[in-house]
Amino acid sequence: MECDHCRKANLRHQKKLYHYTESGLPGIYLKNVMWSECPACHAREVTLPGAGQLHRCIAWGIVTKSSMLSGEEIVFLRKMLRKNQKQMAELLGLSQVVLNRWETGARQGHATANDSKIRMIYLTMQQDEYTGRINQETWELLHRLFGKISRESAPVTMRIDPAVCSPEEIVSVEIERLLHEQQVVAAHP
């Protein structure tokens, strides 16, 4: 198949790890997706089954991670909520200028309370197969997660297979991971 961009070469089709920079996040890699790259101009095309589901899965990974949100992650969550900066700043009770500085990295870091507030706003406003099923036990789990947030800001790196991006599996894996952490802490106080 000829490249649509340069018309100089045939696309190379591949099914291997794909660095999903289109999400706006630097650390997202997709497993088991078919994608093509032009050897001449390096243009890429990817076929994504259920991009909306994939983005909800990425958002869930972001809100449940144990380190502070990065600027890119704040932007991603805001866009998932379909809010502009002014609307999101109002929800957070701060100025648009401050939110812009967090999102662009012009202001390094934000308070843990604001980090938790961004996550909670996402979880309470987003109604999807991940957030819609949060029951009291899951809220308690998220509270424990938020209590463990480190002061450093580290972007999340995830390898996601869109074919198995179900809310039940993601929540189940997260609960098992946290239960394992509690068992390790209990065994070594």
Question: CB–CB of 132/35 below 8 Å?
Answer: no
Q: Cα 57 vs. chain centroid, distance in angstroms? A: 7
The mean pLDDT value for 38-46 works out to 83
**Structure tokens, 99:** 């939110």
- Strand partners for 29: 19, 159
Pairing between strand 12-14 and 67-68? unpaired
Q: Identify the pLDDT of residue 101.
A: 92
Q: pLDDT confidence of 135, banded at 50, 70, 90?
A: very low
pLDDT at 120 over 80: yes
Q: Could you tell me if 56 and 144 lie in one domain?
A: yes
Give every CB contact of residue 10 below 8 A, 6+ residues apart in sequence: 1, 2, 3
Tally of domains in the chain: 2
**Same domain assignment for residues 112 and 178:** yes
Q: Which domain holds residue 35?
A: 1-48
Mean model confidence pLDDT for the chain: 80
Query: 44 and 55: one domain?
Result: no
**CA–CA gap between residue 127 and residue 6 (Å, rounded):** 42
Output the pTM of the full model.
Answer: 0.66
Tokens of 48: 């994504």
| Whether residues 134 and 75 fall in one domain | yes
